[in-house]
Amino acid sequence: MIRLAVQSRLVPGESLRQKHENALAYGFDGIELSGFPMIDLATEAVRDGVPVSAMCSGHRGWFIDPDPEQIEFAIADMKRLVELGAELEAPLIVVPIYGRTHNLPPHCGTGRTRAEDEALFVRGLREVTEHADGVGGTIVVEGINRFENSISVKVADAVRFATEMASPNVRAMADVFHMNIEEVDLGASLEAAGDMLAYVHLADSQRLEPGRGHLDFASVFGGLGRIGYDGWASMECNLSGPAEEVLPASVEFIRSRIAEAAADSSSSREIA
């Protein structure tokens, strides 16, 4: 059974515990930490015993930051986050960078070649992976669309980088919003990831909550069903209205699409 989560920034509440309680009341199974600084949020979750599905970045810098000092900040913060993640039994979501790419004008780039950026990303990811291996933390590598980075763009890229780490503590994740831009067939791309897929982000075609756009969720949940995915699927999106109104409606939409995909899969097996 797929477990549904929602990013903590989307749920009202004065504390993570209140946010978690509200998320459960809306029909979710848990919350994902989202915000800055992530170390503070994760520390609060550990202190108050709030279960979380994952930690979404929220650190200083990036592995391929244009500023070398920010690269070192990123590595230091991520090492601390995988330690906290080990206590929370929650992975750290990792992307190469957010908001810089080689596909936009030069001032948006890193100042390095794509090959140089990829080498830096692998170096940073390997250093944090080795630390995660030592402390029992986990990492999921995400692919984000070409307008936000040029290194890990498709689900297959995330799988490739995760596989290169050769660690049981590193796997890949998929974000259906980015996939809707980059992938030819959403379900087929998820199916191709197979056992390396460990986490999923949900949003509709225009980055609102699922059910407000035209993204092909039948393909998404069909693909997840074919690989027997039973992990977390978390909402990372903007909201079209008040959380207490739109989030329960979106949960109902998602669960109905999951049930429909399961029914379609069962019918297909019977016909075969």
Distances (CA, A) of 100 to 30, 66, 77, 106, 122: 31, 9, 20, 10, 17
Element (H, E) at 254: helix 243-271
Q: What are phi and psi of 140, to 5 degrees?
A: -125, 130
CA distance 76 to 31: 25
Confidence of residue 270 (pLDDT cuts 50, 70, 90): low
Question: In this structure, which topology does domain 3-271 adopt according to CATH?
Answer: TIM Barrel (3.20.20)
Q: What is the mean pLDDT of residues 18-25?
A: 98
Tokens 């609060």 identify what position? 44
CA distance 175 to 157: 13
Tell whether omega for the bond before 105 is within 30 degrees of 0, i.e. cis.
no
Known catalytic membership, residue 87: no
pLDDT digits (tens, 9 = 90+) for 87-107: 999 999 999 998 888 877 777
Q: What is the mean pLDDT of residues 107-120?
A: 91
Residue 230 burial class via C-beta count within 10 angstroms: exposed 0-12, middle 13-18, buried 19 and up: exposed
Distances (CA, A) of 31 to 9, 86, 93, 125, 135: 10, 17, 14, 25, 23
Known catalytic membership, residue 142: yes
Q: What is the mean pLDDT of residues 62-74?
A: 97
Helical H runs in 96-234?
114-135, 155-164, 176-182, 186-193, 217-226
pLDDT digits (tens, 9 = 90+) for 176-206: 999 999 999 999 999 999 999 999 999 999 9
CA distance 227 to 18: 34
CA distance 43 to 40: 5
Q: What is the mean pLDDT of residues 32-54?
A: 98
Helices 186-193/217-226 angle, 10° precision: 20
CA-derived radius of gyration, the chain: 18
Q: How many CB atoms lie within 10 A of CB 3?
A: 13
Q: Single out the catalytic residue among 142, 148, 182, 183.
A: 142
